[in-house]
Amino acid sequence: MADTRPLSIPVLLGTTRKGRLSEYAARFMVGQIERRNGVKTELIDISKLPMPMDDAGEGIKDPSFSEKMVMADALVIVTPEYNHSFPGLLKHILDSCLKEYIHKASGIVGVSAGPFGGVRVIQDFLPVMRELGLVNIFWDMNFGNVSSVFDGSGNLVDQAFVPRADKFLNELIWMAKTLRYGRDNFELGS
Amino acid sequence: MNHHADKFVDPVKPEDLKHVNPSLGGVVKEMHACPKCGAVESRLSD
């Protein structure tokens, strides 16, 4: 029987910092995903999530976030690079779930004020994704010098990011479909 | 539900201890997915 469920690919905006330009990158990615048939998306802003600090891991699981991760087939994580790594609050939120991520696709969007486009945060992030059970694709998005990529209203200035996002999403959607088929049809050890 | 993954985890709660696999040195969490609706669930392997 053909699977008629649309793919769900939410975009996680992984910083709470005031004035964050990562939000422009996240909204751009949402717009690119919305152009795809058979795929639904939404922006999940970690600054809007309940974030208790008196516990950690699955002890702070938010039911709404958990449900969104359950229904997700892939996850786009938009992360700035802070001191060569990812924001601690992004890790705090990601650690609140586990079963929700297993054998699902992920892609990382790195954002930086400098020229490197978050390559260091992406390198740092890969072992975390692996341990969470996410299967990360080998296309990344690198928004270096981000203040020149978007104008002050968040409109894309550098149109080269459109075909880059297209390649990134082609790979992510392929991986999401493949992993969904595997989760649904292939039993472990079969 | 389709059992599609096993995740090795360290026991964190007292009740996890009875699920420890001595040969692996920890607990195996089974991951299951529903082919119809996409729901997921996990349970500790005996």
**What was the ipTM of the complex prediction?**
0.84
Nearest one of A44, A43, A2, A175 to A103, comparing CA atoms: A175
- Confidence tier at A3 by pLDDT (50, 70, 90): confident
**B interface test, pick of A4, A102, A104 with most B CB neighbours within 10 Å:** A102
Q: Are A8 and A34 in contact (CB under 8 A)?
A: no
Summarised one tens digit per residue, pLDDT across range A28-71 is: 999 999 999 999 999 999 999 999 999 999 999 999 999 999 99
Two structure tokens written together for A47: 């600054």
CA distances from A35 to A30, A32, A181, B8, B10 (A): 9, 5, 23, 38, 42
CA distances from A188 to A15, A103, A115, B30, B33 (A): 36, 12, 43, 10, 11
CA distances from A6 to A55, A99, A166 (A): 35, 21, 19
For chain B, which residues lie within 8 Å of any Cβ of chain A, measuring from their own Cβ?
2-7, 29, 31, 33, 35, 37-42
CB contacts of B5 in chain A (<8 Å) are 102-103, 133, 188
Report the predicted TM-score, pTM, of the whole model to 2 decimal places.
0.94
Two structure tokens written together for A132: 């969470």
- Which parts of chain B sit beneath pLDDT 50? none
pLDDT computed for residue A2 by the predictor: 61
- The angle, 0 to 180 degrees and rounded to 10, between the axes of the packed helices A161-185 and A22-34 is 70
Shortest CB distance from B4 goes to which of A71, A98, A186? A186
Report helix, strand or coil for A125.
Answer: helix
